[in-house]
Amino acid sequence: MESIKKNEDFRSCYKTGRSCADKYLVVYNRKNGLSKSRLGISVSKKVGNSVVRHRLTRLIREAARLHEKQFDSGSDIVVVARRSADGASYHEIETALLSLLKKSRIYHEDAVKDDD
């Protein structure tokens, strides 16, 4: 899965995308017209210091990486961590991300999973 790096791509996802939220995360998604999905992660300074922010970024990226074969292709996905995510375990972040992606109809857990 590719990363979203440009500010304009983040902004267009915020502006024209659909959003779902829970206790730990907010997920925005929109179709990107490409054959691949792209993931952008945003963790504000309000969430914590750099150690906390980078830890959350790694947890979100790893949860997405492990389940990316079950994502629909051609979507931009922006994940925004909330303050309450500070101190959350990997399992809590993974569960929150997958449930929000299911609500957004991007994630399908019954999809065929290839073991590479």
Could you list the residue range(s) of the whole structural domain that residue 96 is in? 2-103
Nearest to 97 by CA among 66, 52, 73: 66
- Residue 48's φ and ψ, nearest 5 degrees, are 170, -170
pTM for this prediction: 0.88
Judged against a pLDDT cut of 70, whether residue 113 lies above it is answered with: no
Chain-wide mean pLDDT for the chain?
90
Judged against a pLDDT cut of 70, whether residue 116 lies above it is answered with: no
Domain of 26, CATH number, reads 3.30.230.10
Q: Which residue has the tokens 């995510």?
A: 85
Nearest to 4 by CA among 45, 49, 36: 36
Judged against a pLDDT cut of 70, whether residue 115 lies above it is answered with: no
DSSP state of 44: -
pLDDT digits (tens, 9 = 90+) for 54-90: 999 999 999 999 998 888 888 899 999 999 999 999 9
Nearest to 97 by CA among 48, 32, 29: 29
Number of domains in the chain: 1
> How many C-alpha atoms does 68 have within 13 Å on its Cβ side?
19
Judged against a pLDDT cut of 80, whether residue 108 lies above it is answered with: no
Alpha helix ranges (H) inside the chain: 7-16, 50-67, 90-103
Asked if residue 109 belongs to a domain, the reply is: no
**Which pLDDT does position 78 carry in this prediction?**
95
